[in-house]
A = this chain, B = another copy of it.
Amino acid sequence: MTNVRIFVTYKQSVFDPQGETIKTAIHSLGHDEVTSIKVGKFFDVTLAATGSDVVTAVKEIADQLLVNFNMETYTYQVMEEA
């Protein structure tokens, strides 16, 4: 069993309107020390696989389903492998 967390974010070049809106709201709360905020999604995936099978599966799932490569990019992190 392996737990993987896949992070999907906008590409650096893509404007993140939700992040900008939240930043404005945070400033109205009085937290002017917040200089930037970016929003993303993550997917906690549990797989009955280990090692290179996990890498292959995560890549296919991201490529074919989770990520819009026109605007988004992804990274992942193996949280637990047993």
Contacts and interface: CB of A to CB of B under 8 A. Distances in A.
A72 to B, nearest CB: 14
A14 interface: no
Nearest to A31: B57
Number of copies: 2
Interface string A38-82: 111111111111000100010011001110000000000000000
Given A29-B60, A29-B61, A39-B43, 8 more contacts: A26-B65, A31-B60, A31-B61, A33-B48, A33-B53, A34-B48, A37-B43, A40-B43
Interface of A: 1, 7, 9, 19, 22, 25-26, 29, 31, 33-49, 53, 57, 60-61, 64-66
